[in-house]
Structure 1
Amino acid sequence: MRFSGKVAVVTGAGSGIGRATAIRLLDEGATVVAVDLKHVEPWPGRPEGRLHLVDLDVADPDAGRRLEAYLREEFQRVDVLANVAGILHIAPFLKVTRADWDRVVAVNLTGVFFLSQAAARVMVESGTPGRIVNVSSVHAVVSEPNAAPYTATKGGLEAMTRTMASELAPHGVTVNCVRPGATRTKMSEPIYTPEIVRSLQAKIPLREIAPPEWVASAICYLASEEARYTTGACLDVDGGYAMDGSLPGTVYS
């Protein structure tokens, strides 16, 4: 029950890593504000008194103001913000349109910035030593062909995390990120063809594609008091993908 008495906001909570994170926080005692575009899946067996469903597009220019007002009115505080919402657009670099680019940046980077700003204002003004956890991707450091807007936003997110951590440290607020590798979610499932899965299993040293719960565990660690002396860090949760320089199927002699 690491989060008993805490208020936690999770974006992208309708599915995937966001939903797994929200459930983990609920199970460990938090009151959770589950943010998503539209909540369509039920939350069986979850405590209604501690689960607040909020329909919100993180790319909406007014999203930060709306979240800040909601937190002030309902709780007068917030302890945790997990920025999990994200989108992936697959297209060759030469064919990416301005609309494609703008939408990915709006969700993956601009939305994170202004929702973090909103939550941090509430944390600072209430004197809460809060935790902000951003979700990056292994593709912030390893190229992903046909996903230039996505990789750009994840690289930018990691740089932004470090700057936010520096500025908020005097207020006792930590800002960190997790860097997931291959993870089965609604967003990734369409591209995980049998051929892609075989290639990933050959490339990833631990030979597994993660369920969302494995990434949620890392998010909740960084959101907890156990990580109180960690800020501006990025935690790899990728089965060894980014660090491995070996050639699958070959051995140096």
Structure 2
Amino acid sequence: MRFSDKVAVVTGADSGIGRATATRLLAEGATVFAVDVHHTQPWPEPDAGRLHLLDLDVADPAAGERLDAHLRAAAGHVDVLANVAGILHIAPFLEVSREDWDRVLAVNLTGVFFLSQTVARLMVEKKTAGRIVNVSSVHAVVSEPNAAPYTATKGGLEAMTRTMASELAPHGITVNCVRPGATRTGMSEPIYTAQIVRSLLAKIPLGVIAPPEWVASAICYLASDEACYTTGACLDVDGGYAMDGSLPGTIYS
């Protein structure tokens, strides 16, 4: 029950890592504002009405103002923000349109910036030693062909995390990042063909593709008081994918 009496906001909460994170926070006592463009999956109602479903597009310039109004009306403060919402556009670099580029950046980077700004302002106003956790990707540091806008946003997100951490540290607010590897979510499943899965399992030292709950565990650690002395960090949750330099199937002698 690390989050008893805590108020948390989770974006991308209708499915995947966002859903797993919101579920874990609820299970550990938090009041959760679950944010997504549209909520399509049923939720069990926790005790005392601790779940608030908000239909918000994080790319909407008005999203921050609307979230702030909900938080002030229903809770009065906020302790945790988990920026999980993200989209992936698959196209060769030479064929990416400006529209596709702008949409991926609006959700994965611009939306994170301005929702974090909204939440951080409320934390500072209420003198809350809050936690902001951003969700990057192994592809911030490992190339992913045909996903240039996505990889650009994840690299930018990690750099932005460090700057946010520096600026918000005097207010007692920590800002950290989780860097997932291969994870089974609604976004990733369409590209996880049998061939891709075989290649991934050969590349990942621990030999498994993660369920979203494993990433949610890392997010909740960084969102908890257990991580009170960690800020500006990026935690790999990738089964060893990014660090491994071995050649699959090759034995050195």
Please give the range of the TM-score, normalised by the shorter of the 2 chains. over 0.9
Match of 1:218, SS state, is helix
Rounded Cα–Cα distance in structure 2 between residues aligned with 1:181 and 1:47: 34
Aligned-pair distance for 1:70? 1.7
Residue pair 2:205, 2:239 contacting (<8 A) in 1 also: yes
Q: Within the alignment, does 1:113 sit opposite 2:113 as a pair?
A: yes
| Pairing 1:23-38 to 2, within 5 Å after superposition | 23-38=23-38
Matched letter for residue 20 of structure 2: A
Gaps spanning 5+ residues in structure 1: where? none
Rounded Cα–Cα distance in structure 2 between residues aligned with 1:152 and 1:74: 36
Quote the residue 1:61 is aligned against: 61
Residue pair 2:45, 2:51 contacting (<8 A) in 1 also: no
Gaps spanning 5+ residues in structure 2: where? none
| Pairing 1:170-209 to 2, within 5 Å after superposition | 170-209=170-209
Residue pair 2:80, 2:130 contacting (<8 A) in 1 also: yes
Match of 2:177, SS state, is strand
Aligned-pair distance for 1:61? 1.0
RMSD over aligned Cα atoms: 0.8
Aligned-pair distance for 1:228? 0.2
Aligned-pair distance for 1:32? 0.2
Quote the residue 1:148 is aligned against: 148
Q: Within the alignment, does 1:249 sit opposite 2:249 as a pair?
A: yes
Q: Within the alignment, does 1:158 sit opposite 2:154 as a pair?
A: no
Structure 1 segments of 4+ aligned residues over 6 angstroms from their partners? none
Match of 1:132, SS state, is strand
Rounded Cα–Cα distance in structure 2 between residues aligned with 1:47 and 1:62: 31
Q: Within the alignment, does 1:79 sit opposite 2:73 as a pair?
A: no
Quote the residue 1:135 is aligned against: 135
Q: Deviations over 1:105-163 (max 9, x none)?
A: 00000000000000000000001000000000000000000000000000000000000
Matched letter for residue 237 of structure 1: V
Aligned-pair distance for 1:48? 6.2
Matched letter for residue 161 of structure 1: T
Which is further off, 37-46 or 182-191? 37-46
Quote the residue 1:233 is aligned against: 233
Rounded Cα–Cα distance in structure 2 between residues aligned with 1:32 and 1:44: 13
Rounded Cα–Cα distance in structure 2 between residues aligned with 1:162 and 1:64: 21
Quote the residue 2:16 is aligned against: 16
With the length of structure 1 as denominator, give the TM-score of the two structures. Answer: 0.99
Matched letter for residue 241 of structure 1: Y
Residue pair 2:165, 2:173 contacting (<8 A) in 1 also: yes
Rounded Cα–Cα distance in structure 2 between residues aligned with 1:131 and 1:72: 18
Matched letter for residue 155 of structure 2: G
With the length of structure 2 as denominator, give the TM-score of the two structures. Answer: 0.99
Matched letter for residue 177 of structure 1: C
Quote the residue 2:168 is aligned against: 168
Matched letter for residue 105 of structure 2: V
Q: Deviations over 1:165-193 (max 9, x none)?
A: 00000000000010000000000000000
Q: Deviations over 1:61-117 (max 9, x none)?
A: 111111122212221100000000000000000000000000000000000000000
Rounded Cα–Cα distance in structure 2 between residues aligned with 1:113 and 1:120: 10
Rounded Cα–Cα distance in structure 2 between residues aligned with 1:42 and 1:63: 23
Rounded Cα–Cα distance in structure 2 between residues aligned with 1:132 and 1:180: 16
Which is further off, 136-145 or 70-79? 70-79
Quote the residue 1:123 is aligned against: 123
Aligned-pair distance for 1:47? 3.5
Equivalent residue pairs, number: 253
Match of 1:226, SS state, is helix
Quote the residue 1:89 is aligned against: 89
| Pairing 1:2-13 to 2, within 5 Å after superposition | 2-13=2-13
